[in-house]
Amino acid sequence: GRPLKGEITIAGAKNAALPILCAALLTAEPVTLRNLPDLQDVRTILKILAQMGLKVTFPNPDDRSVVVLDGSDIHTPEASYELVKTMRASILVLGPLLARFGRAKVSLPGGCAIGARPVDQHIKGLKAMGADIHISHGYIEASFGEQKKALQGAKILTDMITVTGTENLLMAAVLADGQTILENAAREPEVTDLAELLIKMGANISGLGTDRLVIQGVKSLHGAQHAIIADRIETGTFMCAAAIMGQTGADLMLKNARPDTMEMVIDKLKDAGLQIALGKDWIHVVMNQRPKAVSFKTSEYPAFPTDMQAQFMAMNAIAQGASRVTETIFENRFMHVQELNRLGAQIVIEGNTAMTEGVDELSGATVMATDLRASASLVIAGLAASGETLVDRIYHLDRGYDRMEKKLAAVGAQIARVK
């Protein structure tokens, strides 16, 4: 119940950093990255890469946003179960390891709380490029086909739009023999950011931002420097925090943002009554009224991002009016709903649609985080609820948010991390 007022600096995007860190496996020369977010998932992928022999250096140990990666001495093109089980995006090492070394052994990622999340499309695409792939004892073992010196370019049409599937196949294709066409490619800004780095490294890719990527394989890639794109989901999360504080007021300046990657989220928050001013790299939001309920259906970029669904559900919980939210990407991404209802929300789930009747007030309680964006949703709801809200299991939150409680406390929220 405290007004939010002040400036927040947005970090680099988690979902761009993870594939971009793996792209360093594609060259023997140093890759320097700036605007790297300091997150659990980033630390996990850096551990996996270091285990393979990739050298990770922070030029200034006090500044973990700049890192130099040196893949000149990769001795073990493998990713172990112990680390992969903590983060399924580790599958993103498969494409680059196979492309550069001709072999890879990566633990098959398990499912996760929000869904089965198979990687069949990643495997289908690599097989189309000539890879021999077999799965045994929970590991994917991949190699070039017999007597082959490289993957072969291919035309690949994925059954559905897959973000990391597109990224894995893109990283495999840049060193393949010949041309690869990725049809039905994901258009997320993080995919484009990866492609931009690969082009800086000497890759030949066209169709960025479209659902058809055309890659002309090259013999090798060289080092490069790159600043990671701003995190549109972190930005949207803080915008939802402002919108939910309508009764007490919010006035936030979000810096180092990329409003051009957030059109749908901005439109929906305007419908909710958030006042939004946009600059090239900043977003100023003001809220001094109860939010209005907004309905939406999640879909692939540029439509409404599934990673913002839980945060909007928190806002809808105390919005004026009723709303319908349909989750079309993952089969089990409503676990925050039961927890929001513990805070007094009136939400009913029917299949993959959640119907919400906005209530006047939420009341603080102990709730449990189940996955990354559900955690953010519960923190946002706690800001608006009367009394104290305790969010348990916030290791989920730390996977994808860089010290969220510090950023919120700095703009007036009464929030602290407790042991």
State the distance between the two ends of the chain, measured CA to CA, in whole angstroms: 23
Largest CA distance in the chain: 68
Q: Is 162 in the site for ligand EPZ (CB under 6 A)?
A: yes
160 binds ligand EPZ (CB under 6 A): yes
Q: Which is nearer to ligand EPZ, 118 or 279 (CB)?
A: 118
Residue with Cβ nearer ligand EPZ (107 or 121): 121
Contact (CB, 8 A) for 33 and 27:
no
Q: How far apart are CA 64 and CA 83, in angstroms?
A: 21
Contacts of 82 (CB under 8 A, 6+ apart): none
Which residue, 298 or 412, has its beta carbon nearer to ligand EPZ? 298
Query: Residue 240: which residues within 8 A CB-CB, separation 6 or more?
Result: 269, 308, 311, 312, 314, 315, 380
The structure tokens 């119940």 sit at: 1
Residue 307 within binding range of ligand EPZ, rule CB under 6 A:
yes
Per CB under 6 A, the list member of 50, 57, 76, 118 interacting with ligand EPZ is 118
CB closer to ligand EPZ out of 27 and 40: 40
Distance CA 161, CA 177 (A): 25
Min dist CB 384 to ligand EPZ, Å, is 22
- Catalytic status, residue 112: yes
Report the C-alpha gap between 142 and 126 in whole angstroms: 9
From candidates 187, 373, 396, 407, binder to ligand EPZ by CB under 6 A: 373
Considering the complex, state which of residue 40 and residue 180 has its C-beta at the smaller distance from ligand EPZ: 40
Q: Which of 372, 374, 384, 404 binds ligand EPZ (CB under 6 A)?
A: 372
Q: Give yes or no for residue 356 binding ligand EPZ (CB under 6 A).
A: no
Residue 230 found at the interface with ligand EPZ (CB under 6 A) = no
3-state secondary structure of 57: strand
Three-state DSSP at 350 gives strand
Candidates 27, 35, 152, 164: give the one binding ligand EPZ (CB under 6 A): 164
Alpha-carbon gap, residue 66 to 226, rounded angstroms = 10
Q: Of the two residues 126 and 283, which places its CB atom closer to ligand EPZ in the complex?
A: 126
Closest CB 149 distance from ligand EPZ, rounded Å? 27
51 sits in which H/E element: helix 40-52
From the candidates 28, 66, 83, 112, give the one annotated as an active-site residue. Answer: 112
Overall size of the chain counted in residues: 419
Q: Which is nearer to ligand EPZ, 229 or 287 (CB)?
A: 229
CA distance 402 to 3: 22
Within 252-271, which residues bind ligand EPZ (CB under 6 A)?
none
Give the count of beta carbons closer than 10 Å to the beta carbon of residue 140: 23
Q: Does residue 297 touch ligand EPZ according to CB under 6 A? A: no
* Residue 165 sits in the site that holds ligand EPZ (CB under 6 A): yes
**CB 14, CB 39: distance < 8 Å:** yes
The answer to whether 235 contacts ligand EPZ (rule: CB under 6 A) is no
User: d(Cα 7, Cα 283) in Å, to the nearest integer?
Assistant: 10
Identify whether the C-beta of residue 68 lies closer than 8 Å to the C-beta of residue 59: yes
Residue 189 touches ligand EPZ, criterion: CB under 6 A = no
Q: Residue 370 interacts with ligand EPZ (CB under 6 A)? A: no
**Residues 44-103 close enough to bind ligand EPZ by CB under 6 A:** 89
Interaction of residue 348 with ligand EPZ, rule CB under 6 A: no
Please give the positions annotated as active site: 112
Residues at the site binding ligand EPZ, with contacts judged by CB under 6 A: 14-15, 18, 89, 115-122, 160, 162-165, 306-307, 329-330, 372-373, 400
